[in-house]
């Protein structure tokens, strides 16, 4: 069946977006595939621009403390990408991309995608004003299996696939303070932005140690620091005292608090929700929150704006 002119244009746009300008195109594509994967250009964000979509119930305004324009510098939402397909990704970004600032390709999953799919996903995030980055445990894997000699190739491959940012952590492969600074500085020297991560998944670190680790990351050139979620939970419950200590010792505008998940012992869905509410109530709607699952991006934004189960900000029920 011969494709319509509109379908041909959409097909051509798709492949140019993926970076395959030299590829020969067929004029025939299944109609479902063509309509589902075409890029939605009305969502393109430019530096300093406000969100581009008009929402339903437009008379409901965000609270004064919620940053709206992207790129945001506060109130960041980091979504964790555990392997969603490129079409699923587009569906999500069309519905919720205005509420996502960063997307982490979890652990070493970047190595498992077909190269063209990985590059397409990276490009689609960028197209929607979302900064994609490689999870820190991939860097740990390279360091453990290939040593520092393997890192230049890792940096180069990250950039070749469209990444401008990586995370450096020591969840499994420990880093001394000197090593942490050296690894961050080396990645920065290679032209990458670095997000540091502090804390570990299988050990409890004091607030003072976490603050010191964050300071090392910033001193070496990291732009943001993520706090490992496992450090913030005690017997499955949010450790409010530790979070308060961290807030007194760190610039929270440069710190992202990770949400826990079922990979942490004794953590239930309700515990994750409790931490979300605690963070928003403690720091306000512009707290930086990481490890948000794709299906809860809009729900988190509702909590930030007082539209969720935590209720309106500052509201007290009549006695």
Of 291, 286, 284, nearest to 310 (Cα)?
284
Alpha-carbon distance of 266 to 218, in angstroms, equals: 32
Residues 6+ apart with CB under 8 A from 76: 101, 102, 256, 288, 289, 290
Domains: count for the chain: 2
- Domain of 76, CATH number, reads 3.20.20.70
Alpha-carbon distance of 37 to 191, in angstroms, equals: 32
Do residues 79 and 216 share a domain? yes
Do residues 31 and 139 share a domain? no
pLDDT at 237: 85
SS3 assignment, position 190: coil
Q: How many helices (H) and strands (E) does the chain have?
A: 11, 10
125 belongs to a structural domain: yes
Q: What is the tens place of the pLDDT at every residue in 85-105?
A: 999 999 999 999 999 999 999
Tokens, residue 209: 């140690």
41 belongs to a structural domain: no
Do residues 117 and 228 share a domain? yes
**Residue 233's pLDDT band (boundaries 50, 70, 90)?**
confident
pLDDT at 105: 99
pLDDT at 115: 98
Q: What is the mean pLDDT of residues 129-154?
A: 98
pTM of the model as a whole:
0.82
Do residues 128 and 195 share a domain? yes
Alpha-carbon distance of 34 to 16, in angstroms, equals: 14
310 belongs to a structural domain: no
**Residue 145's pLDDT band (boundaries 50, 70, 90)?**
very high
21 belongs to a structural domain: yes
Do residues 147 and 25 share a domain? no
Q: What is the tens place of the pLDDT at every residue in 289-313?
A: 999 999 999 999 999 999 998 889 8
318 belongs to a structural domain: no
pLDDT at 52: 57
314 belongs to a structural domain: no
Do residues 194 and 73 share a domain? yes
pLDDT at 294: 98
Q: Which has the higher per-residue pLDDT, 17 or 122? A: 122
Do residues 93 and 15 share a domain? no
56 belongs to a structural domain: no
Pairing type for strands 102-105 and 131-134 reads parallel
Do residues 138 and 23 share a domain? no
Do residues 205 and 98 share a domain? yes
Tokens, residue 22: 């030299």
User: Taking 80 as the threshold, does the pLDDT of residue 278 lie above it?
Assistant: yes
User: Taking 70 as the threshold, does the pLDDT of residue 207 lie above it?
Assistant: yes
User: Taking 50 as the threshold, does the pLDDT of residue 167 lie above it?
Assistant: yes
pLDDT at 23: 38
Q: What is the mean pLDDT of residues 181-185?
A: 98
263 belongs to a structural domain: yes
Q: What is the tens place of the pLDDT at every residue in 14-66?
A: 333 333 333 333 333 334 443 343 333 444 444 333 455 789 999 999 998 99
Do residues 193 and 74 share a domain? yes
Do residues 169 and 269 share a domain? yes
- For 226, the domain range is 63-304
CA atoms within 13 A on the CB side of 154: 29
Kindly report the average pLDDT of the chain as a whole number.
85
pLDDT at 54: 86
**Burial status of residue 191 (CB atoms within 10 A of its CB: 0-12, 13-18, 19 or more):** exposed
Do residues 29 and 133 share a domain? no
Of 296, 294, 214, nearest to 256 (Cα)?
214
């Amino acid at each position: 069946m011969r494709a319509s002119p509109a379908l041909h244009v959409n097909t051509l746009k798709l492949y140019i977006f993926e970076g395959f300008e030299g590829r020969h195109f067929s004029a025939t594509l299944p109609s479902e595939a063509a309509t589902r994967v075409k890029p939605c250009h009305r969502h393109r964000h430019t530096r300093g621009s406000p969100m581009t979509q008009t929402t339903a119930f437009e008379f409901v305004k965000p609270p004064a403390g919620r940053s709206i324009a992207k790129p945001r510098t506060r109130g960041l939402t980091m979504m964790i990408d555990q392997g969603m397909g490129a079409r699923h990704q587009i569906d999500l970004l069309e519905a919720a991309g205005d509420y996502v600032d960063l997307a982490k390709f979890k652990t070493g999953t970047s190595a498992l995608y077909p190269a063209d799919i990985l590059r397409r996903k990276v490009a689609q995030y960028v197209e929607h004003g979302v900064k994609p980055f490689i999870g820190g445990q991939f860097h740990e894997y390279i360091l453990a299996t290939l040593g520092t000699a393997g890192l230049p190739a890792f940096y180069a491959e990250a950039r070749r696939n469209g990444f401008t940012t990586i995370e450096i952590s020591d969840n499994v492969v420990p880093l001394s303070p000197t090593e942490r600074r050296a690894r961050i500085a080396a990645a920065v020297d290679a032209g990458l932005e670095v997000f540091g991560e502090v804390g570990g998944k299988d050990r409890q670190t004091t607030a003072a140690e976490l603050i010191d680790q964050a300071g090392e990351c910033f001193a070496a050139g990291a732009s943001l620091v993520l706090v490992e979620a496992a450090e913030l939970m005690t017997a499955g419950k949010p450790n409010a005292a530790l979070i308060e200590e961290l807030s007194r010792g760190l610039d929270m505008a440069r710190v992202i608090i990770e949400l826990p998940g079922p990979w942490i012992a004794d953590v239930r869905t309700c515990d994750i929700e409790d931490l979300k509410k605690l963070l928003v109530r403690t720091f306000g709607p512009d707290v930086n929150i990481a490890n948000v699952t794709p299906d809860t991006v809009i729900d988190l934004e509702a909590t930030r704006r007082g539209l969720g189960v935590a209720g309106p900000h500052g509201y007290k029920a009549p006695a």
